[in-house]
Structure 1
Amino acid sequence: MLSGNFSDQFTSDNTPWFFNGIRLQIYPTKHLKIESWLINGWQSYGRFNAMPGFGGNITWTPNSNLKLITNNYYGSDAAGIPDRKRFHSDNSLLYRYYNQPKSTKISRMAFSFTGDFGFEKGGGVNGLKNGGAENGPAQYFLSAMFYNRIWFAKNKFAWTFGGGVMTNPGRYLVLYPTGQASPLPNPDNPTQTEGAFPFSANPGDKFTAWDCSTNLDFMPNQSITFRLEYVHRQANVPYFAGSGGVTSQTGYSTSALDPNWKPDLVKTENRIILALLFRL
């Protein structure tokens, strides 16, 4: 993805992005890097089941304008459900299609496109298609996002815009909304959470969402950036914090709750962000 957003892209937030283990890097040429992974699991610091995770990365940069990246993983990540296997593929294209760094008008233009695909199969779910009562519902992840960035005035100003979509039946990669999940797992079903207001993550539960954002940067030098950004996000279920809050009436966990109170979650979110980023 292009570096140009203060807020992480929503689809990226809900995609596996860290692991713990061993990786081997090989550089067959100066333009090509190949990695192999032996890891505890994607999105897990500890190994949940007996099987380790396997994966790898290929990064190809044929020239200074183009970069292609693919990350792929297979393993058993569902805690306490060793029969459930997961595959995930994360792929990105970055392309700079205009570069005139000394221009006082448009000085540079580039875009990024990312597509993710994955699924879980076994242990009561059936990957890409509905398996009915015997094999369970479909449980997969699909997402795509596109961002374009234009620099102006010898790269002193920049404008970024773009957005993304995602669907994740079963919600196995969806971050739980604040106020609806307890850090303690349900001992009868490790894929679900407990608490007064648990976020449903039953096999087959639908979750679809999309987001868009735009921002304007002023970069007087390489060490400081002034940014004004607007972000819109939308989901098919109440997911984002509303004006009524998601903690308690007072904001303290020790406060007694009104029995009629519940977290105020809404289906849409809008943010206007003013940020100052600097490098010492």
Structure 2
Amino acid sequence: MMQRHILTIICSAASIIAQAQQDTSKPKIPFEGIDMTWHNGNDRRDSSVFKGVYFIPSILLDVNYNYSFNNPIDNTVVGSTAMARHNEVQLSALHLGGDFTYLNAHARVMTQFGTRSTVVPRNDLSIYRGQYHLDDVYRYLSEAYAGYHIDKWYGINIDAGLFMSYIGLNSYYQPENWEYQASFTSDNTPWFFNGIRIQIFPSKHIKFEPWIINGWQSYGKFNSMPGFGFNFTWIPNDYMKLLTNNYYGTDAGGIPGRKRFHSDNSWLLRYYNRPNSSGISKMAFSLTGDLGFETGAGVKAFGGDANTPSQNFLSAMFYNRTWFAKNKFAWTIGGGVMTNPGRYLVLYPTGQASPLPNPSNPTQTEGAFPFSANPGDPFNGWDASTNLDYLPNQSITFRLEFVTRHASVPYFAGRGGVTSPDGYTTTPLPPNWRPDLVKSENRLILAMLFRL
């Protein structure tokens, strides 16, 4: 009897040791088991339909129809990175690619086709420094990087290449966002970085990610110094997320003495969750606040005057989302405000109001009738939107959205458009013609967003 007990104890101990060895050999995955499908700016799928050892593909498609009540004759959208054309069905984005892994090496490649391959790179003026047409080289890539994974804590990734930016909360990929037209806070902050990042996961709930990058949404460098920044994300549970993104660099072309600082901070909270309810099944909000400024070389952050004007960026946005009918429908309402004296982050209007860099003075722009972006030029804006989503499954979203946007200066395309008297680029411009910019616009957006 005693021998049988001893044998049982030995077998039990061996089983416990084997289980412990198995647990320690299992890779630790950051944020594993935490529900992030409700996050604004995050993949809403709980898993991919594709399975693979070395490669998992990814496909994203964004098609939209939008109508501005200003009804510009040239069908051009001004001041948006989400849309390019008015009153037309447009393929905004087609992304093809996926994730490669072999042992601890990994890579991610995503292509970029559609209007966004023109709309977004146009805002990078670093491409005019030097040769080789960097806008064409990178235009059809949204992500392309490779790296190595170190099995320390919950993982360390060292990656280099072209990355998506986290600043502004919204994702570059529209199927991940609660709203289609991003508020000023997100639409005027970077969508991409080119450089090196290190992702450090000291625990299951924390990510710390330092960056060394070419600059603020720039394929190249504006000056000789690179940009520096970091992301810190804390997701303690299924219903809350806190993150901060911070950046420092020199991003005024030809003016290395002008420094830029930017801090972007977000809080997401899911405050109601009844996933099986046929009524309200989930409710959550996201709150984002940004503080940024430029200083040096003739400008200062705050308290400027006529001789040394202020250059800063203050903004906030808030969205509340309610899901219905077991998460098959969702309603979002929200908006934001922004002030940006100096207009150093304002998206320049398109067409004849679109600027090109002035070689003799990099702080100014030139073109037929350029939108002024001189130090201290005021710009204040606010926006609000509401939409209704139909979500038949986790791979497709049908969205109807209304958005109203307003600026303190003429900025959006009016009835006369921003191209020519009849809206065609081939039409000569009469001496008295000017782009028709107005201070507000109301817009309806119908979008189909697909992800697999």
Structure 1: gaps spanning 5 or more residues = none
Q: Within 1, Cα distance between the matches of 2:428 and 2:287?
A: 47
Find the counterpart in structure 1 of residue 356 from structure 2: 184
How far 1:9 sits from its partner (Å)?
Answer: 2.1
SS of structure 1 residue aligned to 2:351: coil
The answer to whether the aligner puts 1:259 opposite 2:431 as a matched pair is yes
How far 1:181 sits from its partner (Å)?
Answer: 3.9
TM-score by length of 2: 0.60
Find the counterpart in structure 2 of residue 151 from structure 1: 323
Find the counterpart in structure 2 of residue 230 from structure 1: 402
Structure 2: gaps spanning 5 or more residues = 1-38, 41-176
8 A contact 1:180–1:199 mirrored in 2: no
Per-residue deviation, residues 148-176 of structure 1 (Å, max 9, x unmatched): 00001101111000000000000000010
Find the counterpart in structure 2 of residue 120 from structure 1: 294
8 A contact 2:212–2:226 mirrored in 1: yes
8 A contact 1:10–1:233 mirrored in 2: no
How far 1:180 sits from its partner (Å)?
Answer: 4.6
Q: Within 1, Cα distance between the matches of 2:370 and 2:405?
A: 22
Q: Within 2, Cα distance between the matches of 1:18 and 1:191?
A: 23
How far 1:13 sits from its partner (Å)?
Answer: 0.7
Find the counterpart in structure 1 of residue 260 from structure 2: 86
Q: Which has the higher helix share?
A: 2
Find the counterpart in structure 2 of residue 173 from structure 1: 345
Find the counterpart in structure 2 of residue 45 from structure 1: 219
Find the counterpart in structure 1 of residue 450 from structure 2: 278
Q: Within 2, Cα distance between the matches of 1:224 and 1:36?
A: 33
User: Percent of aligned pairs with the same residue?
Assistant: 73
Q: Within 2, Cα distance between the matches of 1:142 and 1:183?
A: 24
- Structure number with bigger Rg: 2
Q: Which has the higher strand share?
A: 1
How far 1:25 sits from its partner (Å)?
Answer: 1.0
The answer to whether the aligner puts 1:246 opposite 2:424 as a matched pair is no
Q: Within 1, Cα distance between the matches of 2:450 and 2:211?
A: 34
Q: 5 Å matches for 1:100-139?
A: 100-130=274-304, 133=307, 136-139=308-311
Q: Within 2, Cα distance between the matches of 1:128 and 1:27?
A: 36
SS of structure 1 residue aligned to 2:430: coil
Per-residue deviation, residues 186-244 of structure 1 (Å, max 9, x unmatched): 12221221012111111110000000000011222223322211000000001001111
Q: Within 1, Cα distance between the matches of 2:344 and 2:267?
A: 26
SS of structure 2 residue aligned to 1:11: helix
Q: Within 2, Cα distance between the matches of 1:62 and 1:120?
A: 34
Find the counterpart in structure 2 of residue 8 from structure 1: 182
- Count of residue pairs the alignment pairs up: 278
Q: 5 Å matches for 1:61-72?
A: 61-72=235-246
The answer to whether the aligner puts 1:203 opposite 2:396 as a matched pair is no
Which stretch shifts more, 66-75 or 268-277? 268-277
